[in-house]
Amino acid sequence: MIHGFDLNAPLVCEGIVGDACGGGRIFLIKEETLYANDPITNENIKLLENIHMPLKISKKGCIVTIECELERIDFDLSSMKPTIKQLSI
């Protein structure tokens, strides 16, 4: 656990310091919303809402990837914009 977050939980991931945008922050999905937790202030910063049926999140560079049941969302932290890809069933 880091700052009270279970990094093994599927809807939580850590931004690695030096790995581009959001280094040192914890990214989490709570109640269909993506947040970045600032470890200094412990404030949750709202990044993206209306995330339906999320399964897991991960981060590489400036992209937070959210895998949902019906779509994959790549949220670009540098532009603060999502790219959504519908998954075939």
pLDDT for 26-49, tens place per residue? 999 999 999 999 888 999 999 999
Is residue 38 one of the residues assigned to a domain? yes
Residue 3 lies in a domain: no
Q: Does any domain span residue 65?
A: yes
The answer to whether residue 5 is domain-embedded is no
Write down the pLDDT at residue 75: 97
The residue segments making up the domain with residue 43 are 12-86
pLDDT reported for residue 1? 46
Can you list the residues of the chain whose pLDDT is less than 50? 1
DSSP sequence for 8-75: TSTTEEEPPTTSSTTTT-EEEEETTEEEEEETTTTEEEEEE----SEEEEEEETTEEEEEESSEEEEE
Domain assignment present for 2: no
CATH number for the domain that contains residue 64:
2.40.10
Predicted pLDDT at 35: 97
Number of domains in the chain: 1
